[in-house]
Structure formats: C-alpha cells, structure tokens
Chains A and B, each alone.
Chain A
Amino acid sequence: RKEVEQDPGPFNVPEGATVAFNCTYSNSASQSFFWYRQDCRKEPKLLMSVYSSGNEDGRFTAQLNRASQYISLLIRDSKLSDSATYLCVVNKDSGYSTLTFGKGTMLLVSP
C-alpha cells in the first residue's frame, strides 16, 4: 500500500455542485493531516488542517477516519475558482517526522 494514495481524477463538476475527495494513508501511527491546494504551475498552498473531530472552513469540510485510515475533503457550492489539484498530506510517523504528499486529485469546475 502506498504511503498516501489519492484518486488522480479529474473530477469534472458543474458550478454549484458538491464534490468529495478521499485520501488513504498506510501508517496507522500518523498523527497530522493536511489538505493543500495547488494551481497549475504554482506552489502548493495550505487549505486546511484535518483534526480528529473534523473541521469546517466555509464551503470546505475535512474529516478524519482513523479506523479506515482515510481523510476526506468535501467542497460545497463549487466555484470556478475551486478548479485546482488538491493534495493530501500526512506525517510519516508519530513523533518527529516529515510530511508525505499524495499525488493529488484534480478538480475541474465548469460553468
């Protein structure tokens, strides 16, 4: 099983739709989880951290399922500007460790 796995997509949705991405991780000891957004040919930017209790930021909701070892990102009321690649990021292990990036899921929102 890869350390961090994402469906590459693309997910094609119309404006206003709700879309969800999942990301699975292999190490049950991982403690920190993040979603990043990357626009074409740009650097990744932090979208949100993922907490055990789940968290919401406007139209974006992130959830963590430790039992099944996946995190999810839900985007409601999609905007054209949401078109990007969404990267799942997980720390390699508990304690002192580095972050591992998934290859990303591409989202295309059309008018």
Chain B
Amino acid sequence: DGGITQSPKYLFRKEGQNVTLSCEQNLNHDAMYWYRQDPGQGLRLIYYSQIVNDFQKGDIAEGYSVSREKKESFPLTVTSAQKNPTAFYLCASSSTGTGNSPLHFGNGTRLTVT
C-alpha cells in the first residue's frame, strides 16, 4: 500500500541534543512538508520541498534543518537551537507543490525533550 511512514512514533531526548525524524513516502509525490502541532494549536509549517535537492523555509523554520536527497525521503533535524522542541511533528506529501493538491499525512512523531 502506498503511504507515508514516519518513525519513530515516540521520541524522547535530553535538552541540548539534536534529533532527526524520519519521513519516507512511496506515493511518488513531488512535494513533501513538515508541520508541527502544539496542543490547542493549528498546524504550523516548518519546511517544505517541492522537488529533490531543493527546499524552502516555512513559517517556523528556526532551529530546524532538512534535506531532500531522494524523492522518497525528507528527514527533519530538530537542533538544540530550537527553543521549544516538544511537539507533535507531522510529515506530509502532495502530488504537486502548487497548493492545489491535498496533503497526505504520515501518522506523526511525538517528540518530548526534557
């Protein structure tokens, strides 16, 4: 079955450590996205990539980094510079990056930093 796989589902880290969240899709979608969701908040866009080897900052990119070396993969690194990293992280993909195609989400990673 085609879909988006995020791993791990739960992740615990100590403050000051970088951590990388995995996102893989086999939908052959061009565009991939990372969102963050905090309790009672809407989804906020961290980074997105409309094509391999290219990505753009979203609304809250500070303290995060990404790479897009393969079409299927879009890992997100949460660095120690991110002031409030504890959140629910959602990866998504869409067939195009034009904003006209709906997003398909992975089942998310809950990151807790203490």
B32 to chain A, nearest CB (A): 12
Cross-interface CB contact of A46 among B33, B35, B97, B104, cutoff 8 Å: B104
- Render A17-61 as a binary contact track against B, CB cut-off 8 A, 1 for contact: 000000000000001101000000111111001000000000000
CA distance A49 to B100 in the complex (A): 10
Choose one: B42, B99, B105; the contact of A32 (CB below 8 Å). Answer: B99
Residues of B within 8 A of A41 (CB): 88
Among A99, A101, A103, which residue has the most Cβ atoms of chain B within 10 A? A99
B 45-57 binary contact with A (CB < 8 Å = 1; else 0): 1001010000000
Q: Which residues from chain B contact A96 at a C-beta distance below 8 Å?
A: 50, 97-99
How many residues of B sit at the interface, in one of the four size bands? Answer: 20 to 34
Contact between A43 and B90, CB atoms less than 8 A apart? yes
A42 near B107 with CB under 8 A, answer: yes
- Residues of chain B within 8 A of A32, CB atoms compared: 99-100
In whole angstroms, what is the CA distance A94 to B55 when docked?
A: 20
Are B42 and A103 within 8 A (Cβ)?
yes
Residue of A nearest to B44 (CB): A101
CB distance B105 to A44 under 8 Å? yes
Whether A98 contacts B48 in the complex (CB less than 8 A), given A43-B90, A103-B40, A103-B41, comes out as yes
CA distance A31 to B101 in the complex (A): 11
B106 contacts A98, CB within 8 Å? no
User: Do the beta carbons of B99 and A92 come within 8 Å of each other?
Assistant: yes
Q: Which residues of A contact B45 (CB under 8 A)?
A: 98, 100
Distance between B100 CB and nearest chain A CB, rounded to angstroms: 5
Query: Is B103 an interface position by the 8 A CB rule?
Result: yes
Contact flags (1/0) for A70-111 with B, using CB distance below 8 Å? 000000000000000001010111011111111110000000
- Would you list 12 pairs from A and B whose C-beta atoms are within 8 A, ordered by A residue? A31-B99, A43-B90, A43-B106, A43-B107, A44-B105, A45-B105, A49-B102, A91-B100, A92-B99, A96-B98, A98-B33, A98-B97
Closest 7 CB pairs of A and B: A91-B99, A103-B42, A43-B105, A97-B99, A101-B43, A101-B42, A32-B100
